[in-house]
Amino acid sequence: MAEPGRDHKSWSSRLFALLLCVLACFYYYYFFVGRSHVVLDIAVDQKTEFKLYWAAQNEPFSEKRRAIVDIGPEQSSYSFFLTDLGRVERLRIDPMAAKGKALVKQIAISQNGFDTINVDFKQAKPLHEIAGYWVDEDGLHVDSAGKDPNFLYLPSIRSAPVNWAAELARYTLICLAVLLVTRACGPLRQEFRYVVLMLSVAFVCIVIMAAVSKRNAHPDEYVHLNATRYYQENWLPPLIDDPAVENTYSAYGVSRLNNGEIYYLLAGKFSRAVAVFKLSELFSLRLFNIFLFACILLYGAVSIPARLIALPFLLSPQIWYIFSYCNSDAFGLFLCFLAGCELVRPNSSLNRLLDAERARTPLMALLGLSFTLGLLFLLKINYYPFIGLFFLCIIGKILKIRRNFEHDADSRRVITRLVLVTLLALTLAGVRLGADYYVNGPDRQVKIAAMQEKMAHPWYKPSTDLHHKHVSMYLKARGTTLTRMIEERQWFKHCFVSGFGLYGYFTIAAPEIYYELVKWAFVAFLVYALLSIGIKGTMGDRLLALLSICLAVALIGASLHRSWTVDFQAQGRYLFPILPMLGILLARSRNLFETRVFTLLVSQLFFLAVYSFVFIALVFIPRPV
């Protein structure tokens, strides 16, 4: 007779496997069956973009409902996914995004359950910026008069019988694959070992993106690259008005060399050190961030708490994207990861300093923690909520263990160590900031303002009249209410989309259904984690959750306020310090989660992230010509 516990465990395993099969089939349908596939054959005389818009009845064409493909003279055949043909009433064909000539040879749109649509170019009607066009046996010849030439096409959409036997075979194969993987990877659920495997997959994606994407295919990478390149040969910050560093100034008239961050010094020296391997300059400048993610992976391989700190980095492909090119946000996330590990690892430098039984202060632990904290103090202002949580957690640790101190001397010893760590960290940060004043003098801010006036685009110059500045600037001063900004400009939606998979210069996006699925999957994950902590956790766990929520809300509020009062920047990366805060919460509460449920929720978000990075980011990111 079967044991009741063993029987319950067997049914639990079967239910878990069934849920995974259902999810896999669901995502297969929505991403590959429930969308049409386009085969494009086009010849152009320059590198440009092909766009295909769709609209339902009584619905306008929109940037939200389009597919966009980078095209060039070196290639003629392309393929990409569109949308469910059942939702399409009209198409708008934009053969190129520049003046010039193009020959559209074929557009074929296919989807299971519909007849294939071979676009009849004779039925295409010119709408805008078409200097001339004609159709012959070769296809649609287009002479563009501007940057937005387009045609209207009304497709004939007819249903077709579905080969249910073939579809059933595909779903069966998917389920078999899921069952095999589940069975083989069952031991990985123990001690969250699957996190290391997922980090390895993310690492491979990061390396590929860094290797194949062209220079400045990513937001503001050119100024990050130029700032990093400066420190290949220099140790001290430059003169603010040095003509040699004018290429580090952005359109806002701001240079990354003047903001106090130490990332560019470290990345520059790292790229100089790896020059012996004869890598391309671009890849060597990106390699520092790849190295940082490799450190996270290796740390997670040897430490269970570190796996939980790193776990939130697996939930969004935007994090992997941040680590794939030259920028300082990757360094900020890495430092937060290290600081989080200091809080939750039992034998970390911090916890060794908090051990009152150690009569002698562990010197290496003191110096290591001081160095980490000093670098934290040099991060951008949006990381301050994380720093606040870090110190609040330290205070909580002191209050928790103080009752175990046998003597006041023990308490004084621990507090003295922490004060010394903080002073050393502030000294390190002060040396970096002091170097700026040593080079540029006490009137440093005056010089920065003068360079901003000189280097900024007229839209962003301080002296430009309000109503001649860029339309995203100073919305509050222009009379836009906060409610109107949120509703009309969709601040929260833009932050979410750009936080979970928006690539290039915010032009490469996944289908809308992807963001909907991610939204609800992420909500389910957060609700489960917070409910588990609220129901099963100690008072300390609940207090940490409450502090994390309050600081996260404060960061969101600060970012929202800045978008309203200074510049509308609805970018998810400004909110990324929330993720290591979540990691600390998960690591502290890891024993409260039911393994299968937690693994299922994490896996769902991870595979959505893989889909976005592989099938959207890597496919459509611009490559070197």
Mean pLDDT per 10-residue interval, the chain, length 625 residues = 53 78 85 85 91 90 83 86 89 93 94 92 94 94 93 92 86 89 77 94 97 92 95 93 91 90 95 92 96 97 96 97 96 97 92 77 85 92 94 86 62 83 92 90 90 91 90 90 90 93 87 89 96 93 95 96 91 94 95 90 94 91 84
Q: At what angle do helices 281-302 and 329-344 cross, to 10 degrees?
A: 10
C-alpha distances out from residue 465 to 228, 448, 449, 567, 574, Å: 34, 20, 16, 15, 28
- The helix/strand/coil state of 71 is strand
Place of tokens 């005056």: 446
Helices 539-565 and 512-536 pack at an angle, to 10 degrees, of 140
Give SS3 for 406.
coil
Domain ranges of the chain: 4-23+163-184, 38-153, 191-464+475-620
Distances in Å between the alpha carbon of 537 and those of 402, 529, 544, 545, 593? 22, 11, 10, 10, 10
Q: What is the pLDDT of residue 1?
A: 45
- Give the predicted TM-score (pTM) of the model: 0.85
Return the pLDDT at 2.
Answer: 47
